[in-house]
Amino acid sequence: MTTNDSAASPSPEVLRYAAFTTDPAGGNPAGVVLDAAGLDDAAMPAIAARLGYSETAFLTARNPGAPGTAEPVYDVRYFAPKAEVPFCGHATVAAAVALAERDGTGAGGYLFATPAGEVPVAVDTVGGVPRATLTSVAPHVEAAGADDVAEALAALDWSADELDADLPPRIAFAGARHLVIAAATRDRLARLDYDVPRLEALMRRLGLTTVQLVRRASADVFHVRDPFPVGGVVEDPATGAAAAAFGAYARELGLVPATSVLTLHQGEDMGRPGVLTVTLREGDERVRVSGTAVRIPA
């Protein structure tokens, strides 16, 4: 079902989806507005704030489409309750599934023109369930300053000896910037009670969207959590943008082979479990993130 929320008239249809799950009570809820052409820069953040999800995606169809591409092209903006973000993975997955369902195809290909760059998204079905795969913009990984890491740990109330030395802190980007910090134990990851204003101040100074907290469970399976205070959300339940950035991080540090499929579990500690699949391809620097999405009933 849908809700009508808008500061403009007429009110646009606001869809609600849960991404990276097949359970409406799991994964990460996202708002999706498939026709945002009539919304201005005040209306979009107002809708996102009222909805209260970590992000809402606002799509505007281009006509004609971009030269050289057969896929429908959409300009997309993403708003959290407190801020606009350059790219959001879970809202991208939700929006692509919503488009495929609206178009009655159950599958399709789309090109999302986001503030971070162009993001191709493909939708297929697996066992009758729609699944979207986004392909990130070109990623990069950079060093994290020792003082900045120390400040992050202080805000998190973590100590340096609770970190995994094989996964050193880095700032990773695949559409948005994320500070990656790896815990040495699953128990440390499970206990998240941080100083919200202190971490938010650090993140704003460094231009971060989330801090991605990671625990490696096996060679290609990871548990992750993402504090998101800059967006007005204490924690993001499933974070596709951070998953793409983490894929770039894992490849850059040589943690996984050049061609790999990683499984990220997120949201378990929040009671909203989700699964994100990260695919790396040798010879292609971009990162692919896949996941299901399901409509949230009113």
CATH number at residue 117: 3.10.310.10
Q: What is the dihedral of CA 211, 217, 222, 225, to 10 degrees?
A: -40
What is the residue range of 247's domain? 140-292
pLDDT in tens, 224-257: 999 999 999 999 999 999 999 999 999 999 999 9
pLDDT in tens, 18-59: 999 999 999 999 999 999 999 999 999 999 999 999 999 999
3-state secondary structure of 23: coil
Point out the catalytic residue in the list 55, 162, 200, 235.
55
Of 95, 115, 133, which residue is a domain's last? 133
- Please state the domain count of the chain: 2
Of 73, 102, 133, which residue is a domain's last? 133
Q: Are residues 286 and 148 in the same domain?
A: yes
The pLDDT value recorded for residue 55 is 96
Average pLDDT, the chain: 93
pLDDT in tens, 114-169: 999 999 999 998 888 899 999 999 999 999 999 999 999 999 999 999 999 999 99
Whether 55 is catalytic: yes
3-state secondary structure of 87: coil
Of 133, 151, 168, which residue is a domain's last? 133
